Amino acid sequence: MRDKIVAGNWKMNKNLEEALQLVNELKVANVDLTPKIIVIPSFPFINSIVNTLENSPIKVGAQNCSTQDSGAYTGEVSASMLKSVGAQYVVVGHSERRSYFNEQNEGLAEKVNQCLSNGLTPIYCCGELLEERESNNHFKIVESQINEGLFNLSESKMIDTVIAYEPVWAIGTGVTASPDQAQEMHAFIRALIAQKYNQQVADSISILYGGSCNPKNAKELFSLPDVDGGLIGGASLKSVDFMAIANSF
């Protein structure tokens, strides 16, 4: 069976003290849970949070990484640096990176490769804009994001990825994809993987839903056959909400 995962993307929120407070609350609250729980703070806090979470099953991820190994790339953070401070996951291709920082599928494929070459699991994000759904192009868009960002991987690398389907119109808006919309797209993505690789690979990859997931709607979303958990933004910033979501399987 594939992993159930709840990952909290804190985005550019919290200072060190606030970040450690949240993580200490999660550490205490984390008992007997089904999913893998991942917290994804800003770069400067990763190491302190990894240390704080020693002996806890909660894992730590990063929100981005460089396409490059090392060298004269001022302001960049490499996958090997993230590995060296204890990160295990990296969000690649979040819609905010795609839209504000003009990240394209081609460069994201390089980031995915960097993660996998350095023993990190990429959480590869895909999802359509509202106008793309309204013009009935949502499957085409997600297919090209998956195809160009992930499908250059060998089968043995592909099985080490996690995918997050995040319709852009649902991120931070309070509008959630309906269960039918989420299941339909998740099944579509899984079918693409089966077609490119095989059914066994498709069945082994966790596909998370992201977009205004909260303690009220998580149970219904997570009960869908092709939804393996969530990538959570706003609701991951409060321990009580995040743990309620993590307890929704």
Nearer to ligand PEP, 96 or 132 (CB): 96
Minimal distance, residue 171 CB to ligand PEP, in Å: 4
- Does residue number 229 form part of the binding site for ligand PEP (CB under 6 A)? no
- Does residue number 37 form part of the binding site for ligand PEP (CB under 6 A)? no
Angle at 45 between CA 42 and CA 48, to 5 degrees: 155
Say which of 76, 166, 184, 220 is annotated catalytic. Answer: 166
Angle at 46 between CA 155 and CA 232, to 5 degrees: 65
Q: Which of 103, 128, 132, 166 binds ligand PEP (CB under 6 A)?
A: 166
Element holding 201 (H helix, E strand): helix 199-204
Residue 94 among the catalytic residues: yes
- Does residue number 171 form part of the binding site for ligand PEP (CB under 6 A)? yes
Minimal distance, residue 211 CB to ligand PEP, in Å: 5
- Does residue number 172 form part of the binding site for ligand PEP (CB under 6 A)? yes
- Which tokens belong to 119? 């023993």
Secondary structure of residue 164 in the 3-state scheme: strand
Output b/e per residue, 50-82; b: 16+ Cβ within 10 A: bebbeeeebbbbbbbbbbeeeeeeeeebbbbbb
Binding site annotation covers 169?
Answer: no
Binding site annotation covers 140?
Answer: no
Contacts of 84 (CB under 8 A, 6+ apart): none
- Does residue number 210 form part of the binding site for ligand PEP (CB under 6 A)? yes
- The closest residue (CB) to ligand PEP is 233
- Does residue number 8 form part of the binding site for ligand PEP (CB under 6 A)? no
Residue 166 among the catalytic residues: yes
Q: What amino acid occupies position 78?
A: S
- Does residue number 9 form part of the binding site for ligand PEP (CB under 6 A)? yes
Q: Which residues are annotated as a binding site?
A: 9-11, 172, 212, 233-234
